[in-house]
């Protein structure tokens, strides 16, 4: 429960605000920035919620803005922070970009949204698609007055009635992001797959959908075995609010009435013991005061018939490195001084292949010793189409609507990098002068 | 936004007028996009003219300009009557803007607000449910006593509206009314209507009714407004599966307050709540976890508990994939949950490994949790992580990582040697703050494992010159005193410190006095000079009473009975232990009942930060009211606007005074804050606690060692 919500710029100036309960002086927002700065000065990382003189501040950062909520009660912190994120999301979907400029330009609609999304500090309707049905930028041009869409208060609060498509189609995207953390010795510390199933739904009426996956728990509970391939074991699953959770809990059936258009149906998480898909090894040799050299080996550890596209390997280099020289067996390398790293781009990286790259940088002869070296990890970006690491499969998608139309489901699989970090090994230090 | 149709509105004017207006309009069009243009002299005057314009679009633009001024913090309260005139309109956007203006300035113009009542009441009868809801929602937000009486009839109607959108808005409005005037809300039967609405067919209405009831119940003195009985329970459990994410949170919060009759009922409810773990909204998940954690107290079936604990782990881990701010709240809560049920994430330590780009506040919380999860099996992995973190650039995080290594050593005795080795590696990096932090924690390791790692003392002493922080210095001096017989040049080391006695921080001075006494008792021949000098300085040249008094005690002890002094000062001290229950058990239970709330984030009982007195909840509210009143006093144009009142609407003001007296009982008076009992419990816990807790602050060492010394004396 929030007493008031503010949008502030980075200096802490309030751009727009809404007072929901009138129980906290709105001037409390003026204290926000000084308090954050004070925490920073004391070398304590400012936390997303803090309390000061009986007022609790909860905030998130979005681009160059702070979204702040204040409350004087022992409110639900998770709810408030998630609401602020939701607010940022809705604003972004309304104005493309959420920043100072778009707030100034759209203050009327922002007030309307703030009024509709929260009442007396309690979140209400926060679905952009539904909000857009009755809060529009051109509302005054409408001849007929808008009414609250049925969906606002329906049990099906995410879909309006009377939707019509000439061609009924559903597109499913199964996207798996691989999170990886490898330590400097090359040991995998963590490897995790975060999968999402995205849906683009172009269906008429109020269709009932049922999605079948090769879910191990489901097969086990029904005593059946997968017809082909193996079943996968998801550690945790999260569903869009349209999915009936109790049915899933009972018999692992994923049944739902979908929202119209694009949405994220579900996400799942599993830990894997599989080899990291793109493996990167680095040997760093530094000659203090003169140069630093990198030898990077990249290996695609998946089946030969798959190919990773748009692979980008980010290798951190010292902030003061200069005069880069590169040599690589494939792709292109460039130096990105603004990010203090070199970027090795490989358009297509076939499974099972291995490539080498060498880089050479000059270092200034004098270095500030007091500056401790930052040690960011190597990062990798990639995309492998037609492939999932987990082996998840969509077995069927049943679509039933009372008008009895036939609808076509399409499925596409893709694996990509998530938080993919390999820590850089300690550089081999050569302090002696080497013969020229 | 400004469309070219604007000329339509002036079509029936005479040609001459319309050309004039047209030229104004074109001017206006150029400057119009910038509603936030800098203030000009007499801007309010111009705005007033526009607000009273005969042309719709012009009036609407003027309203937007007024709202724009309001947004940037300019006072436009003086335009109240002029804005008010634009309230009756078919243009929904304009209506919303006028309503918004009213909400903001009602407090500054309480006697003018009454003029809006007619339109409000009319709007609650509109054929469009959107307008009915908007009117009742806004009326509830106008916190002016005079308007409350006029609110009751429309509210009664809206609570029974055929449209669920209006009903759900009205439900919240009851809470607003109760906040302003509890008696009015109860006497009019609104609160009991709300209780009936829990059975509404529409889940969103149910959710808001529950939200409103919970809020009213909390602020009521009797706490008997919202009591869940068997039929309500069934309704809540049904609505839980149907309503929006935010509604589910409200219902779960209500379920958390319910006391199940027996273990069977608890199990039954828990079964219905567990599916919420799969909800995409992290707050729903955490609210469900809260319900389960509370209900587990009532469940007697061990197997059921084990199942629940198993099911709780994956959703907790998944919360770590949320936005960092939410992660932070989740981590603070996991910390509490782990203390209650350490088995939950016993095998999941890896998920708490810090990522390079985690924000600092997330890293530090992860660190805390890793220490909690550390055991013999995972300690090697954890140590190599901690060593990695100790080489990062964020000083605060590095220090905490070094401390974590020390805590592991104290927690897991089998691994203490490995921990010490890692600390030695870190000392060899010669990074100043790493070395200092390492020495502080090594002192604690010595206190836990006396005489086990004396071999590393020379390495520590080599770093003496690098120490500039009092805590690190004091720690090393304590080690020197404690192990004086093993350190050949102990007297030299102490002497160097004595030279700068006056410049040292007082905790270093205290340690110096104690260490020189220990040194003397262990090496009487070589250290006589030292002890004399240090006691001399401490008693004669030092004005800190603690240091003086301690020096006098030592002095007398030494001069009366050296043997007794030896027995007291050099006695064996009981080893310290890590207090794994950092939170006392009574507080822990309270925090579990508050999972996901601010209390669970601060790890403090709600009363401590909601507080009383100057910064208490009531005081904050009072300040809010004062701020608004001040604004009204400052409002410069108010006086002159009063003259406009009469010709606006024909309303009889004579009865408004009586309204005043009936509604003057403001809500804040009813919010009595129950005095926390938990604080007292904590204190008691403190006194019952006879194990010495290991805290890193070395000021505790002195207190502890002093008290131990004293204990041994008797």
B114 vs A279, higher pLDDT: A279
Identify all chain B residues contacting A21, using CB atoms and an 8 Å cutoff: 179
pLDDT band, very low/low/confident/very high, at A155 (cuts 50, 70, 90): low
Token readout for B141 is: 């937000």
Taking the CA of residue A294 and the nearest CA in chain B, the distance in Å comes to 21
Written as six digits, the tokens of B88 are: 């009756």
Q: How far apart are the first and last CA of chain B?
A: 87
Q: Is the pLDDT of residue B662 over 70?
A: no
Tokens coding A201: 């739904």
Q: Is A246 on the interface with B (CB under 8 A)?
A: yes
**Can you tell me the distance from the alpha carbon of A253 to that of B313, in angstroms, rounded to the nearest whole number?**
22
CATH topology of domain A169-274+389-421: Immunoglobulin-like (2.60.40)
For the domain made up of A278-385, give the CATH fold: Immunoglobulin-like (2.60.40)
Cβ distance of B596 and A77 shorter than 8 Å: yes
In angstroms, the CA B213 to CA B194 distance is 7
Quick one: pLDDT at residue A239? 94
CB B209 within 8 Å of CB B171: yes
User: What pLDDT is recorded for position B380?
Assistant: 95
Check pLDDT > 50 for residue B644: no
Quote the CA–CA distance of B667 and B665 in Å, as a whole number: 7
Q: Do B314 and A236 touch (CB under 8 A)?
A: yes
Q: Output the CA angle B546-B550-B553, nearest 5 degrees.
A: 145
Q: What is the DSSP string of B104-147?
A: HHGGG-HHHHGGGHHHHHHHTT-SSHHHHHHHHHHHHH---HHH
The residue-averaged pLDDT of B390-407 equals 92
The CATH number that domain A4-152 falls under is 3.30.450.60
Q: Is the pLDDT of residue A145 over 70?
A: no
Q: CA angle B205-A17-B619, nearest 5°? A: 85
Q: B211 and A122 in contact by Cβ < 8 A? A: yes
pLDDT reported for residue A46: 87
- B486 or B678, which is more confident: B486
Q: How confident is the model at residue B527 (pLDDT cuts 50, 70, 90)?
A: confident
Q: Which of A373-387, B563-577, B627-641 has the lowest mean pLDDT?
A: B627-641
Cβ within 8 Å, pair B274-A249:
yes
pLDDT at B649: 43
Q: Is residue B153 part of a domain?
A: no
pLDDT band at B233 (very low <50, low <70, confident <90, very high): very high
pLDDT of residue B653: 43
* CB proximity under 8 Å: A 309-348 to B: none
Tell me if A72 and B211 make a contact (CB, 8 A cut-off): no
Residue A144 has pLDDT above 60, yes or no: no
Name the nearest CA neighbour of A182 among B348, B388, B425: B388
Judged by CB atoms closer than 8 Å, whether chains meet at A54 and B104 is answered as: no
For residue A24, list chain B residues with Cβ-Cβ distance below 8 A.
620-621, 623-624
pLDDT value at residue B331: 97
Nearest by CB: A119 against B93, B172, B203: B172
Closest Cβ–Cβ partner in B104, B130, B598 for A147:
B130
DSSP state of B378: T
pLDDT interval class at A3 (50, 70, 90): very high
Residue A40: what pLDDT?
A: 85
Which residue out of A57, A77, A127, A215 would a mutagenesis test of the B interface target, given it has the greatest number of B Cβ atoms within 10 Å?
A77
Task: Place B259 in a pLDDT band, splitting at 50, 70 and 90.
Answer: very high
Option in A48, A81, A148 nearest B130 (CB)? A148
Residues of chain A contacting B353 with CB distance shorter than 8 Å = 181, 189-190
Residue A21: closest C-alpha in chain B: B141
Asked if residue B430 has pLDDT above 60, the reply is yes
Are B364 and A235 in contact (CB < 8 Å)? no
Check CB contact under 8 Å for A190 and B351.
yes
Task: Tell if the CB–CB gap between B355 and A125 is shorter than 8 Å.
Answer: no
Domains of chain A: which residue ranges?
4-152, 169-274+389-421, 278-385
Would you tell me which residues 383-422 of chain A have a C-beta closer than 8 angstroms to some C-beta of chain B? Answer: 419, 421
Banded model confidence at residue B47, pLDDT cuts 50, 70, 90 = confident
What pLDDT is attached to residue A177? 95
Q: What is the mean pLDDT of residues B51-79?
A: 88
B190, part of any domain: no
* Confidence band, pLDDT 50/70/90 cuts, at residue A154: low
pLDDT at residue A6 is higher than 70: yes
Q: What is the mean pLDDT of residues B282-286?
A: 97
Q: What percent of chain B has pLDDT over 70?
A: 80
The SS3 call for residue A102 is helix
pLDDT, residue A188, reads: 92
At residue B87, does pLDDT exceed 70?
yes
Lowest-confidence region among A286-295, B386-395, B483-492, B607-616:
B607-616
Lowest mean pLDDT among A99-103, B165-169, B577-581, B645-649: B645-649
Residue A9 has pLDDT above 80, yes or no: yes
Of A367-376, B290-299, B680-689, the one with minimum mean pLDDT is B680-689
Q: According to the model, what pLDDT value does residue B687 have?
A: 43
* Residue B12 pLDDT > 90: no
Q: Which of B620, B627, B670, B678 to mutate to test the interface with A (most CBs of A within 10 A)?
A: B620
Q: What is the pLDDT of residue A7?
A: 97
CB distance from A107 to chain B under 8 Å? yes
Q: Which residues of B touch A379 (CB under 8 A)?
A: none
Partner-chain contact B137 A27, CB within 8 Å = no
What is chain B's mean pLDDT, rounded?
Answer: 82
Looking at residue B31, its pLDDT comes to 42
Q: What is the DSSP string of A141-181?
A: G-SSPP---GGGTSSSTT--S----SS-EEEEEEEEEEEEE
Residue B595 in any domain: the answer is: no
Q: What does the pLDDT look like over A286-305, one tens digit per residue?
A: 887 789 999 999 999 999 99
Q: How far is B189 from chain A (nearest CA, A)?
A: 21
Residue B707, pLDDT > 70, answer no
Confidence class for position B571, pLDDT limits 50, 70, 90: confident
DSSP A114-139: HHHHEETTEE----HHHHHHH--TTG
Residues 6+ apart with CB under 8 A from B368: B331, B335
Give A129's pLDDT tier (boundaries 50, 70, 90): confident
A–B interface: beta-carbon pairs under 8 A: 283
Please tell me the predicted confidence (pLDDT) of residue B661: 39
Task: Name the residue range of residue B250's domain.
Answer: 244-319
Instruction: Output the average pLDDT for chain A.
Output: 89
State pLDDT tens for residues B112-170.
888 888 899 999 999 999 999 999 999 999 888 888 889 999 999 999 999 999 999 99
| Number of structural domains found in chain B | 1
Looking at the complex, does the CB of residue A56 fall below 8 Å from at least one CB of chain B?
yes
Average pLDDT over residues A270-278: 85
Q: Would you call A81 and B323 a contact, using CB atoms and an 8 Å cutoff?
A: yes
Residue B311 lies in a domain: yes
C-alpha dihedral (B297, B302, B307, B309), degrees to nearest 10: 50
Side-chain-side CA neighbours of residue B180 (13 Å):
25
pLDDT above 80 (res B546): yes
Indicate which of B249, B251, B609, B618 best probes the interface with A, i.e. most A CBs within 10 Å of its own CB: B609
Contact B596 A78 (CB under 8 A): yes
A205 or A433: whose pLDDT is higher?
A205
Task: Give dist(CA B283, CA A364) in Å, integer.
Answer: 51
Residue A93 contacts B, CB cutoff 8 Å: no
User: Residue A178 — pLDDT band, cuts 50, 70, 90?
Assistant: very high
Chain A hits for B329, CB-CB cut-off 8 Å, are 48-49, 77-78, 81
Residue B627 located in a structural domain: no
* Among candidate residues A214, A191, A211, the one with its CA nearest the CA of residue A271: A191
pLDDT per residue as tens digits for the range A195-209: 999 999 999 999 999
Is position B258 within any domain? yes
Q: Output the pLDDT for position B578.
A: 66
Same fold, A169-274+389-421 and A278-385: yes
Q: Is the predicted pLDDT of residue B539 greater than 50, yes or no? A: yes
Q: Which residue of B has its CA nearest to A112?
A: B96
Determine contact: A147 vs chain B, CB below 8 A: yes
Q: Which residues of B348-361 are buried (b: 16+ CB within 10 A; e: fewer)?
A: bbbbbbbebebbbb
Dihedral sign computed on CA atoms, order B482, B486, B491, B493: negative
pLDDT higher than 80, residue B4: no
> Which residue, A126, A69, A61, A118, is CA-closest to A93?
A126
């Amino acid at each position: 429960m929030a007493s008031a919500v503010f949008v502030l710029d980075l200096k802490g100036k309030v751009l727009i605000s809404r007072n929901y309960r009138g129980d906290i002086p709105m001037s409390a927002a003026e204290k926000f920035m000084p308090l954050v700065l004070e925490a920073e000065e004391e070398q304590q990382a400012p936390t997303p919620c803090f309390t000061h003189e009986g007022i609790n501040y909860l905030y998130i950062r979005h681009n160059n803005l702070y979204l702040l909520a204040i409350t004087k009660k022992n409110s639900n912190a998770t709810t408030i922070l998630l609401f602020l994120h939701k607010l940022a999301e809705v604003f972004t979907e309304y104005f493309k970009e959420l920043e100072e400029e778009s707030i100034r330009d759209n203050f009327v609609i922002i007030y309307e949204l703030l009024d509709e999304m929260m009442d007396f500090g309690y979140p209400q309707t926060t679905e952009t698609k539904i909000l857009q049905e009755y809060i529009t930028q051109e509302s005054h041009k409408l001849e007929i007055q808008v009414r609250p869409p049925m969906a606002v208060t329906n049990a099906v609060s995410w879909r309006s009635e009377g939707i019509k498509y000439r061609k009924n189609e559903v597109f499913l995207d199964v996207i798996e992001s691989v999170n990886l953390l490898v330590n400097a010795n090359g040991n995998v510390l963590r490897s995790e797959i975060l999968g999402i199933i995205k849906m683009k739904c172009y269906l008429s009426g109020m269709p009932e959908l049922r999605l079948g996956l090769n879910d191990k728990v489901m097969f086990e509970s029904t005593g059946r075995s997968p017809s082909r391939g193996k079943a996968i074991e998801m550690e945790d699953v999260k569903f869009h609010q349209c999915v009936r959770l109790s049915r899933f809990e009972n018999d692992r059936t994923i049944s739902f009435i979908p929202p119209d258009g694009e949405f994220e149906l579900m996400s799942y998480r599993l830990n894997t013991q599989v080899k990291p898909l793109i493996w990167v090894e680095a040997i760093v040799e530094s000659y203090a005061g003169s140069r630093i050299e990198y030898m990077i080996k990249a290996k695609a550890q998946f089946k030969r018939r798959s190919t990773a596209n748009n692979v980008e390997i980010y290798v951190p280099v010292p902030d003061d490195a200069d005069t880069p020289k590169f040599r690589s067996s494939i792709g292109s390398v460039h130096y990105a001084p603004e990010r203090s790293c070199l970027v090795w781009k490989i358009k297509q990286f076939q499974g099972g292949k291995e490539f080498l790259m060498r880089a050479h940088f000059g270092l200034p002869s004098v270095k500030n010793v007091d500056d401790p070296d930052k040690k960011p990890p190597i990062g990798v970006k990639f995309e492998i189409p037609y492939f999932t690491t987990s082996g998840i499969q969509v077995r069927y998608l049943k679509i039933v609507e009372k008008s009895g139309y036939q609808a076509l489901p399409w499925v596409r699989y893709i694996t990509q990098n998530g938080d993919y970090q390999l820590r850089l090994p300690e550089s081999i230090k050569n302090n002696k002068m080497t013969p020229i | 936004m400004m469309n070219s149709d604007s000329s339509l509105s002036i079509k029936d004017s005479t040609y001459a007028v319309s050309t004039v207006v047209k030229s104004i309009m074109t001017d206006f069009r150029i400057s119009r996009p910038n509603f936030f243009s800098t203030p000009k002299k007499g801007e309010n005057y111009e705005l007033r003219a526009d607000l009273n314009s005969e042309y719709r679009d012009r009036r609407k633009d003027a309203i937007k300009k007024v709202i724009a001024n309001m947004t940037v913090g300019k006072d436009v309260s003086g335009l109240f009557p002029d804005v008010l005139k634009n309230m009756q309109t078919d243009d929904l956007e304009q209506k919303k803007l006028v309503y918004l203006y009213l909400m903001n300035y009602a407090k500054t113009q309480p006697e003018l607000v009454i003029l809006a009542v007619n339109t409000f009441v009319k709007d609650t009868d509109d054929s469009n449910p959107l307008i009915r809801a908007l009117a009742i929602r806004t009326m509830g937000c106008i916190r002016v006593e005079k308007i409350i009486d006029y609110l009751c009839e429309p509210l009664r109607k809206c609570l029974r509206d055929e449209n669920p959108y209006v009903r759900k808005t009205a439900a919240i409005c009851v809470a607003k009314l109760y906040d302003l005037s509890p008696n009015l809300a109860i006497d009019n039967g609104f609160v009991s209507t709300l209780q009936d609405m829990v059975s509404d067919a529409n889940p969103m209405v149910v959710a808001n009714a529950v939200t409103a009831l919970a809020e009213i119940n909390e602020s009521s003195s009797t706490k008997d407004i919202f009591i869940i009985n068997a039929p309500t329970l069934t309704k809540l459990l049904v609505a839980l599966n149907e309503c929006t994410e935010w509604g589910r949170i409200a219902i779960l919060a209500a379920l958390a307050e319910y006391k199940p009759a027996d273990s069977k009922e608890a199990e039954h409810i828990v079964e219905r709540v567990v599916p919420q773990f799969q909800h995409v909204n992290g707050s729903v998940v955490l609210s469900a976890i809260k319900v389960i954690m509370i209900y587990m107290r009532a469940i007697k079936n061990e197997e059921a508990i084990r199942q629940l604990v198993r099911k709780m782990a994956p959703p907790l881990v998944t919360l770590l994939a949320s936005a960092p701010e939410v992660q932070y709240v989740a981590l603070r809560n996991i910390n509490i949950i782990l203390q209650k049920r350490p088995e939950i994430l016993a095998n999941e330590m890896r998920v708490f490994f810090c990522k390079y780009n985690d924000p600092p506040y997330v890293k530090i919380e992860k660190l805390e949790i890793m220490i909690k999860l550390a055991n013999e099996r995972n300690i090697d992995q954890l140590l190599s992580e901690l060593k990695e973190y100790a080489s990062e650039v964020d000083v605060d995080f590095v220090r905490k990582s070094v401390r974590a290594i020390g805590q592991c050593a104290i927690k897991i005795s089998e691994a203490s040697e490995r921990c010490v080795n890692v600390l030695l590696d870190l000392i060899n990096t010669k990074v100043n703050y790493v070395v200092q932090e390492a020495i502080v924690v090594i002192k604690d390791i010595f206190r836990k494992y006396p005489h086990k790692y004396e071999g590393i003392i020379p390495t520590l002493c080599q770093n003496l010159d690098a120490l500039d922080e009092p805590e690190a210095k004091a720690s090393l001096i304590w080690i020197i005193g404690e192990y004086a017989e093993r350190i050949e040049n102990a007297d030299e080391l102490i002497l160097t410190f004595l030279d700068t006695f006056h410049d040292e921080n007082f905790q270093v001075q205290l340690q110096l006095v104690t260490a020189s006494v220990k040194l003397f008792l262990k090496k009487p021949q070589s250290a006589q000079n030292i002890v004399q000098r240090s006691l001399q300085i401490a008693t004669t040249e030092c004005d800190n009473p603690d240091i003086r008094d301690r020096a006098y005690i030592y002095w007398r002890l030494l001069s009366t009975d050296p043997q007794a002094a030896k027995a007291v000062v050099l006695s064996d001290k009981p080893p310290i232990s890590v207090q794994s229950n950092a939170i006392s058990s009574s507080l822990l239970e309270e925090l579990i009942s508050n999972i996901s709330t601010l209390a669970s984030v601060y790890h403090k009982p709600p009363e401590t930060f909601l507080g009383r007195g100057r910064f208490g909840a009531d005081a904050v509210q009072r300040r809010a009211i004062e701020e608004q009143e001040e604004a009204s006093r400052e409002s410069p144009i108010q006086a002159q606007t009063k003259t406009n009142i009469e010709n606006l609407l024909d309303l009889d003001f004579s009865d408004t005074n009586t309204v005043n007296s009936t509604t003057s009982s403001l809500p804040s008076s009813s919010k009595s804050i129950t005095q926390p009992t938990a604080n007292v419990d904590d204190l008691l816990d403190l006194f019952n606690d006879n194990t010495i807790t290991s805290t890193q602050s070395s000021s505790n060492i002195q207190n502890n060692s002093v008290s131990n010394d004293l204990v041994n004396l008797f």
